[in-house]
Structure 1
Amino acid sequence: MKTKTTIAFFIVLSTFFLQAQQQTKGIIGTNNWMNNWTNFKPAANEYNEATNIIAGTIDKDLKLLKRNTYQLVGVVYVTNNATLTIEPGTVIRGDDKTCGTLVITNGAKIIAEGLETDPIIFTSNKEKTERKPGDWGGIIVLGKAPINTLGGLHTLPFDLEPLLNHYGGQDAEDNSGVLKYIRIEYAGRKLSSLKELNGLSLAGVGRKTVLNNIQISYSNDDSFECYGGDLNMSNLISYRTTDDDFDFTQGAQINISNSVAIRHPFSSDISGSRCFEVDSYDKIGGTDMSKKMTKINASNITLVNMEENNQGLVRESVYVRENTFFNLSNSIISGFTPFVLLEGNIGNGDENLAKLTFKNLIVNNCNGGINSESSSSNAVIENFYNSQNSGIEYTKLKNTELFTTPNIKGSPDFRANVNNTLAIGN
């Protein structure tokens, strides 16, 4: 009986490892889910002139209609538990002169549910030949989900109205609405050297909020930034952002899946731009260390640098700071220097490194693997992850060999190339 039990155990264990090895890496889908609703050449699009102005405060339910084109003037606040509903196909143009910005305040909601064939578009109000990153502010959502700052409440450093600029709380299930099949183009105005708006800022946003099929292009700071909160996010696209594609801080508890960051050297900040920047706080002195530290579970992610000729302007794909949990699995990373950079404070002990897992990955054309800012730790880090049976494959392939159609000029498809057995898990 003992022998049979042992054999059965090994069969189950072998099956588990075989299934793990066969999981498809990178973004997935029976069809190319990036078709129809995305736009990788927004400068070529003509949009109708605005027929309606949105300004000031929205303190009761309001619906924006597809038949109109809206201009977002100044900082527009949705307050008083009101709901802003936006029809599929609606175009909202952010005003350049007044830094048009949409703020969904604590308790209010946005229902922006576009369609694959009729997305909602937030874009610049400039003529197509004049558009550039940072033409307008972006979208800010303030919720009631937990953050780890002292007192459990905080404000964003964006010069917002003090009485309306607050987020955080105890409701991880908080619902700020729906953002689905939307595009955000040319947002991310830099207010000063230390104050930079993002394409989409999610502050203390709870897990009942729906966030999927969102493309952010040409943001002048981060595409997506989460300040605390508890979220499930999927089918996100960050394209040619200047700073980070996905930035997480203040104890954010995030599951992100089936998402892609496409970087370009001439849309990167020389100070350091990454696909993922993950930390638990800016300053430990303002943090309640009894609260949850940032924890990110990222699966079926594609991170790709479209750089050619080795300009060297795009660096590591992932940067992780101390006291942070980060799990990356079933993903493809191509063209970075190095693959991962760990803050020197993380150290090289097993207890620290066990918070960071990297499993079932293709790391392609990266100059370096999992490195530390403290180079003396690199050998220990390499040995630790080599001993974890992580299933990391280091390759030297062209993007055309790795992905289905990595051509931004056409209709890109960054799913794994079916002829690449490493990527598709066969």
Structure 2
Amino acid sequence: MKLRCALITSILCSFLFFNTTAQDFNTNDGKWIKGWANFTPNSTEYPEADEIIPNIITEDTHLSNSSVYLLSGDVYVTANAILSIQEGTVIRGDHENPGKLIITKGSKLIAVGSEAYPIVFTSNKASKSRASGDWGGIIIAGSGKVNSVSGNSVIQGKINPQYAVYGGNKHEEQTTVLKYVRIEFPGNKSMGSENNNGLSLYGIGQASIVDHIMVSYSGQDSFSFSGGQNNITNVLSYKAEDDDFQISEGFKGDLDHLMAIRHPYINSPKGSYAIEIDGYNKDQGFLKPNAVSDVAITNSTFVNLSDNSNYIHTASAISATNSALVYLHNSKISGFSNVVKFDESYTSLAVLERAFKMDNSFFNIHGEGVEVSYKPNTGVLNILKYNRFTKDFVSVDKLFEDPNSKTAPKFQLKKAMNNYMVMQ
């Protein structure tokens, strides 16, 4: 922490205050999680399943909230079929025969819950015995643009090859409609399974709707966006083992009201980030350099629930690789080692400044702020200017109003914004 402060002071830190009329991003920024999110899913009692979902669905099918469904083994929705799910429906993932719900290219998932009656995908285990990775997760393959040489790609992992292709030229496609959906305890890692994330969107089309989605206790990533283009809003990742939001293969979109709540003792051995963004897949090449992953993130909160006794276990909030582009606005980052880590594809300060922009935001970290591969790295903290920050690392409970609430965590700062320093 002392090194970071010294570096900030010597390079570009000015202990100035924003004008009191500056935008206040710290007001009512968590209201959207109230009423439908669940921060104690292991204690929630769900009724036993009374109907099994077939493993192959080839015609339009509707799941009613009058039944509770068991998802056992991999369930494929194929032949352009539409699977629709009524609000308030509960689907329980089998932990003995862990599977996934796979919406193949051309088919569609329409799962529209409500604030009062969200749709819930959860573990089939009894309450207080559920754990991260009890079942697989949800995979949706679309026909949107993918930044690969062929314009298509293949879902990796344990999945039937004939259903694994995604991508194409149907950029306006409505691949899926998801509203008020909770996905609890997904991310199974048994038998070498890969990409069993909470919600994986492959080649999603622009007309898709992804709004008010919560993934909790995923054994792998909570959300994965591979290729495609979409504006996504009100999505929450809670205590994932791997990344909260994994973005790759040229995905483009405006991401508004993202929330990631991590814990310093819940991590993947290979490293876990709130945002892991990859410009393109190095194994498949890219269609053109300007088609790399490119996101604008606004009104978002990325918090690791760390304090002075355990913050050493945290990594950077954001990992950027293979020339990915990120713009972060009106957001908060707290409890991580650094704001952002760049790989070797970012070769100079000029490259960093073109690839990463952050403004009107706040950060509370214990590292230097920016991690790069190239040397010398003089001036890299320049990319954090025009943002407020804490002089020294502050524990989560001292920084925020009610960060550990089990009903609706609050991440409003206890002190007014003008009490914090600003990069200038």
TM-score by length of 2: 0.88
Q: Which residue of 1 aligns with 2:216?
A: 217
Distance 2:396 2:364 in 1: 9
**What's the CA shift string for 1:163-199, capped at 9, x where partnerless?**
2211101122110221111100000111455724100
Of 183-192 and 45-54, the range deviating more from structure 2: 183-192
**What's the CA shift string for 1:14-54, capped at 9, x where partnerless?**
xxxx899723336855x722111111111101111111000
Q: Which residue of 2 aligns with 1:314?
A: 314
**Pair 1:27–1:165, CA change in 2 (3 A):** farther
**What's the CA shift string for 1:174-228, capped at 9, x where partnerless?**
1022111110000011145572410000000012111011110000000000111
Q: Which residue of 1 aligns with 2:207?
A: 208
Q: Which residue of 1 aligns with 2:417?
A: 421
- The equivalences for 1:108-127 within 5 A come to 108-127=107-126
Q: Is the 8 A contact 1:27 1:260 kept in 2?
A: no
Q: Which residue of 2 aligns with 1:406?
A: 403
Q: Is the 8 A contact 1:280 1:294 kept in 2?
A: yes
Distance 1:51 1:112 in 2: 20
**Pair 1:166–1:258, CA change in 2 (3 A):** same
Instruction: State the Cα distance separating 1:78 from its structure 2 match.
Output: 1.2
**What's the CA shift string for 1:313-340, capped at 9, x where partnerless?**
2211001113211111111111111221
Instruction: State the Cα distance separating 1:400 from its structure 2 match.
Output: 4.5
3-state SS, counterpart of residue 378 of structure 2? helix
Q: Which amino acid aligns with 2:45?
A: E
- The equivalences for 1:21-420 within 5 A come to 22-25=22-25, 28-29=28-29, 32-191=31-190, 195-283=194-282, 286-289=285-288, 292-308=291-307, 309-310=309-310, 312-374=312-374, 376-382=375-381, 384-385=382-383, 389-396=385-392, 397-400=394-397, 402-414=399-411, 416-417=412-413, 420=416
3-state SS, counterpart of residue 65 of structure 2? coil
TM-score by length of 1: 0.88
Distance 1:59 1:127 in 2: 32
3-state SS, counterpart of residue 72 of structure 2? strand
3-state SS, counterpart of residue 234 of structure 2? strand
Instruction: State the Cα distance separating 1:288 from its structure 2 match.
Output: 2.4
Instruction: State the Cα distance separating 1:298 from its structure 2 match.
Output: 0.6
Instruction: State the Cα distance separating 1:79 from its structure 2 match.
Output: 1.4
Distance 2:48 2:234 in 1: 30
Q: Which amino acid aligns with 2:303?
A: V
Distance 1:178 1:263 in 2: 27
Of 121-130 and 306-315, the range deviating more from structure 2: 306-315
Gaps of 5+ in 2: 1-17
Q: Which amino acid aligns with 2:196?
A: L
Instruction: State the Cα distance separating 1:62 from its structure 2 match.
Output: 1.1
Q: What fraction of aligned residue pairs are identical, expressed as a percent?
A: 34
Distance 1:107 1:247 in 2: 23
Question: Number of residues paired by the alignment?
Answer: 403
**Pair 1:367–1:21, CA change in 2 (3 A):** farther
Q: Which residue of 1 aligns with 2:13?
A: none
**Pair 1:20–1:112, CA change in 2 (3 A):** farther
**Pair 1:297–1:20, CA change in 2 (3 A):** farther
**What's the CA shift string for 1:127-157, capped at 9, x where partnerless?**
1232111111100010010001121111111
Q: Which amino acid aligns with 2:304?
A: N
Distance 2:196 2:84 in 1: 23
Instruction: State the Cα distance separating 1:359 from its structure 2 match.
Output: 1.1
Distance 1:87 1:423 in 2: 48
Across the aligned residues of Structure 1 and Structure 2, the Cα RMSD in angstroms comes to 2.5
Q: Is the 8 A contact 1:25 1:362 kept in 2?
A: no
Instruction: State the Cα distance separating 1:419 from its structure 2 match.
Output: 5.2
Distance 2:323 2:341 in 1: 15
Distance 2:278 2:212 in 1: 25
Distance 1:76 1:423 in 2: 53
Instruction: State the Cα distance separating 1:371 from its structure 2 match.
Output: 2.0
Gaps of 5+ in 1: 1-17
Distance 1:295 1:27 in 2: 27
3-state SS, counterpart of residue 345 of structure 1? coil
